[in-house]
Amino acid sequence: MRMCKECGQATGRGPTAEYCHKCAIERNRRRSRERRRGAYRSRPRQFTCSGCGQTFEGEPRRQWCDACHPRPSRVKARGGDPESCKSGDTTTVEGRREYQRRYYQKHKKKCREYQRRYTRQYRSRHREARFEASREIVRTTFNTSELMQAPAEKAARMLDQILRRERGFTM
């Protein structure tokens, strides 16, 4: 059985409880009062940037300052060379193009294989579909509106096909 941190009595609430029921209620009230007053917000919160090592005010969970934040992803993408981060800025269109060009040059064989697979998988289907002749639509039935709107000779042919059971008739 665990003992209460405030009053020293047995908690009687479970193996991880640090306060007895009475002290836990009082502690929660006190903490909510402090939050309403802004006691938690007034504390200076700081973090140390992993990139430059300076200390800044802000959320302690942050690892990077605003200036260093993009650096880690670029360092990983370019093979771990921190100097390469300074040469290419990926925030602009030209910078992204330059990065893509360098990546292609570095991984040319891998990129070409990917392009071949992509072309084989997606482009070849479209070419085949483009040159394929569309299937002729064969109608097997006539309806009343078609018979009524057709000229006399055509209506006679339509009725003849219906009577010979070459075509069906629907209402």
72 confidence band (pLDDT: 50, 70, 90) = very low
Query: Could you give the CA distance from residue 154 to residue 144 in angstroms, rounded to a whole number?
Result: 14
Closest C-alpha among 78, 47, 79, 80 to residue 89 = 78
Write out the H or E segment, with its range, that includes residue 168: strand 168-170
- Following CA atoms 34, 38, 43, 48 in sequence, which dihedral angle do they give, to the nearest 10 degrees? 120
Token output for 9: 């009595």
What pTM does this model have?
Answer: 0.25
Average pLDDT over residues 17-30: 91
CB 65 within 8 A of CB 49: yes
CB 63 within 8 A of CB 47: yes
CB 170 within 8 A of CB 143: yes
Token output for 161: 């096909």
Q: Would you say residue 167 has pLDDT above 70?
A: yes
Q: Would you say residue 84 has pLDDT above 50?
A: no
Average pLDDT over residues 97-116: 87
Token output for 123: 């482009």
Token output for 66: 């605003």
- Residues whose CB is less than 8 angstroms from the CB of residue 96 and which lie 6 or more positions away in sequence, other chains included: 90
Please give the full DSSP string across 68-108, using - where no structure is assigned. Answer: TTTHHHHHHHTTS-THHHHH--TTSHHHHHHHHHHHHHHTH
